[in-house]
Amino acid sequence: MKAVGKNNNSNICETCGKCFLKPALLHRHLVVHSRAKFFACNRCCSQFTQKSSLRRHLRTKHDEVNDSDSSQVAQQALAALKALQVSHTIVANKDVQTPLEEQQLISCQVVQVKDALNPRGELHFLPTQRVQRRQQRVSYFYVCDYCSKEFSKTYDLIRHRRSHTKEMPYCCTFCLHRSATQAKLNEHMKRLHATTPKKHTCSECNASYSLKAKLHKHLATEHPDSVYSCAQCKRTFLSQAACEAHEKLEADMQVAKLVPLLPQPAISQRSYKCIYCEKQFRRKFNCRIHMVTHLKRLLVTRRIPKHSCLQCGKNFKKLHDLERHLLTHSKLKLHICGVCQKRFTLKLTLNRHLQTHQAKRNRINCQVCGKSFASRTSLLLHLRLHTGERPFKCEICQETFRTSGHKLEHVRGERHRNASGYNALISCDEV
């Protein structure tokens, strides 16, 4: 029984921490924590801390109804009724002496109100009483002749009057239903007689359908030569490219097993979004094909690379990655920096180096020690000092290093000069 108000902290039980709205409720609750039970049952040995608990016990266990309690409740109700009648008589006497409505009323006159809610556009005027009061934002009010209810706008009054006169001038063109206002008629038309536009039209016979699936079914049965059908599932497509993409997807047995496991893509602003990488597509079919690639990665346990380096044995998925790697074995540094004349084997390394010569370059701070770096790569190398990560391992002695440069310096030392495969290891690590 927690209170919600300004005085939440004033009525708090120190034993259990409960908050109460009134001090009386807190005092009644404190009896629960006290071991004293002052209310005993005269039928059995049960004792209670509150009188209400004793009454509930007598009513449920002993089937006893206290006549004194019912009479007391009746007397209290009678006293409250008399007090209410006295208060109403006092207010009525005050109204007779100084009527409040007459004090606020400034003027009262009968005016002709134009009936704008007319379906045929005919001019009708209704004699209506208009009053003006003080201390109100809207000075004029229009009074209903039937129930004396006041309205600040005329169309609200006309719409309300038709609830008394049962006038319904708006008639439905499809059925015998009639409405009091145009808004009610529009709601009726939309609910019962709404015709959804059929957007999908057949190019052969001009038949229109509301769903694209119904159009495909119509084309497959009536015009089979104008559509492309899948040989396995008999699904129809309007273009040959879509049919070939679908057949390619069905032909892959691994993909066929994954398609039933695919969840539905998320819909975001008329596009379909992949739930794995949040990439968006216009068509649902393309999004599902993309999501299959994520599931295929879970099944592939060992990837067989297509291209391998004959000198160091490294494997690459793409041919151009192997060609770029072969430049590291050629010892040719054809890319020259125009500022400091430093030479590089790869153009990517030169572009990364040119960023160090920029005057206004955003620096990245380390979140651990606050040291700033010019590039994200330098920051990642620095973070290995804090994390203790040493990803580069010597193939001869299995010693680990933080950077590839430290590993290369270690391999070039006198320790491994006489080891087997030393020259191939040096040529592989140099860039």
pLDDT value of position 197: 62
Give the bridge partners for 281, in sequence order.
272
Residue 30 lies in a domain: no
Cα of first residue to Cα of last residue in the chain, in angstroms, is 74
Kindly compute the dihedral angle of the four CA atoms of residues 156, 160, 162, 165, in this order, to the nearest 10 degrees.
-140
Whether residue 261 contacts residue 294, with contact meaning beta carbons closer than 8 Å, is answered with no
Distances (CA, A) of 70 to 41, 67, 74, 205: 19, 5, 6, 83
Within 10 Å of residue 37's Cβ, how many Cβ atoms?
14
Its pTM stands at 0.27
- With vertex at residue 35, the alpha carbon angle to CA 30 and CA 41, rounded to the nearest 5 degrees, is 105
Residue 137 lies in a domain: yes
Residue 166 lies in a domain: yes
Residue 336 lies in a domain: no
**Averages of pLDDT over each 10 residues, the chain, 431 residues:** 48 84 83 79 82 84 59 63 60 42 65 78 81 67 86 86 86 86 85 70 77 78 78 73 74 66 77 83 84 72 66 83 83 86 87 81 80 82 87 86 86 73 57 46
Residue 112 lies in a domain: yes
pLDDT value of position 80: 67
In three-state form (DSSP H/G/I as H, E/B as E, the rest C), the secondary structure along 108-134 is EEEEEEECCCCCCCCCCEEEEEEEEEC
Residue 125 lies in a domain: yes
CATH code (residue 174)? 3.30.160.60
Within 10 Å of residue 250's Cβ, how many Cβ atoms?
16
Which string of DSSP letters, residue by residue, matches 313-358?
--EESSHHHHHHHHGGGTT---EE-TTT--EESSHHHHHHHHGGG-
Letter string b/e over residues 306-331, b meaning 16 or more CB atoms within 10 A of that residue's CB: eeeeeebeeebeeeeebeebebbbee
Distance CA 39, CA 53 (A): 9
Residue 165 lies in a domain: yes
pLDDT value of position 137: 58
pLDDT value of position 251: 63
Provide the 3-class DSSP secondary structure of residue 291: helix
pLDDT value of position 3: 41
Q: What is the number of structural domains in the chain?
A: 1
pLDDT value of position 2: 41
Domain extent at residue 145: 102-192
The DSSP letter of residue 181 is S
Residue 126 lies in a domain: yes
